[in-house]
Structure formats: structure tokens, C-alpha cells
Amino acid sequence: MRLTATPDGATGGIAARNLLDERLLHELEQLHRTRHETFLYGSEEALRHHTERSTELEAEYLRRFPNRLVTAGRTRSGARARETAARIEAHPQ
């Protein structure tokens, strides 16, 4: 399997396109789990690398699963519906 390389020549893991679906999901979960800590405490280089790897893996996931399940609450119309319901609940007539 082909490894990706960072600009300084260090390997960044197996290229996303070469990962099996299960491994791709695992890698995404790990990156999402560590994002906040990397953002707050990582070096500029670590944050850049984390962002690049996240972008690579997320793009590959979307390429493989273009029709993935999208819950209504995670859309703009779903968010507006939640806001409306919250306003109604806060100020019943």
C-alpha cells in the first residue's frame, strides 16, 4: 500500500484511497476524536498535518459514499425547525 508524504518527506499514513472501508472509518474516527486537542495544543505543523489528513480522508469517504444518510436535524431546514420549536416552547401562547 502506498503511504502519503508530508512536504517534509515524513509519511502521513496509508493513502486514503488504499484503505478498506472499515479502516477508513476508523481513521476518520481517530482524527475527529483528536481534533480539539490538536487544535488547542498542537504545533502549527501538527495542526496543518492533521487538517490535511482529515481533508484527504473525508474527501475519500464522500467519494465512496455520496448517498450517505443525512439526518434532517443536520440540515439548514432541520436547524430552522429546531429553532422555531424552541421559540414556541419558550413563549407558548
**Domain ranges across the chain:** 3-90
pLDDT digits (tens, 9 = 90+) for 17-52: 999 999 999 999 999 999 999 999 999 999 999 999
Phi-psi region of 19 (alpha: psi -120 to 50; beta: other; left: phi over 0): beta
The gap from C-alpha 72 to its chain's centroid, in whole angstroms, comes to 18
Q: Is the pLDDT confidence value at 14 over 70?
A: yes
pLDDT band, residue 56 (cuts 50/70/90): very high
pTM of the predicted model, to two decimals? 0.69
Mean pLDDT of the 13-19 span: 94
In eight-state DSSP terms, residue 73 is G
Higher pLDDT, 43 or 5: 43
- The grid coordinates of residue 87 equal 421559540
Determine the Cα–Cα distance for residues 22 and 84; give it in Å rounded to an integer. Answer: 38
pLDDT at 66 over 60: yes
Question: Is the distance from CB of 12 to CB of 50 less than 8 angstroms?
Answer: no
Yes or no: say if 53 and 42 are a contact pair by the CB < 8 Å rule. no
